[in-house]
Structure 1
Amino acid sequence: MTESETATPPLSSPEPDGKPVRLTGRWWRGLSGSVAAGLVLLALGVACSGVLSVFTEVNGPGAFSLFGHLIAAVLALLAQRYADTHRGRPAALAALSVLAITVVAVWLFWWT
């Protein structure tokens, strides 16, 4: 094997004009991806407690909270997917929307 076959591929590929692509948004996508994953885990936890409350006949999260968490998690995942597959300002706005969705969900279902 030659050295070029064993080398890891670059994190960015050059643009058609030969200039390398800047990876400045990488940490931002990582942060918003972590927040989206946390929101999914929170939604799964609320869903599990809802199912458990049905079987134990104990008061659990209401339907509004249960479905609200699930909808927020799906919206955050869709926004994160867009942020991961696009570049520039639209990707940054999608990552920012992940944070906004999470703040709204936590405020609505936990702080009020």
Structure 2
Amino acid sequence: MSLTTEQQMLVEQRVTNDAKSPVVAYLLLIFLGGFGAHRFYLGKTGTAITMLILFVLGWLTLVIVIGIGLLIAVGIWWIVDIFLLPGLLQADKDAIRQRHSTDMLHAPVKT
């Protein structure tokens, strides 16, 4: 069973309303990227916490030289995320679309 055109339009409207803002995601990445704020925003909590821990440990251990490697790793991760962000945003939209489509298919029909 597939969605009617009206249902598809409703799903797309909900996707537009619920999707994460690319502007906010990029601003978080640029200004708070080391803390993993953009990943928290996109719901990638596990990798966000990992990025945050590496960043904090990097600064705490900077005086014993270990921190340089950790901060370099976070910096490389930050640069890679600049290119990964469009895909993460699209994956978020796809998940929202799938959820609303499934909800629409299982919703009771109004008479």
* Structure 1 length-normalised TM: 0.36
Higher helix share goes to which structure?
A: 2
Q: RCO higher in 1 or 2 (8 Å CA, sep ≥ 6)?
A: 2
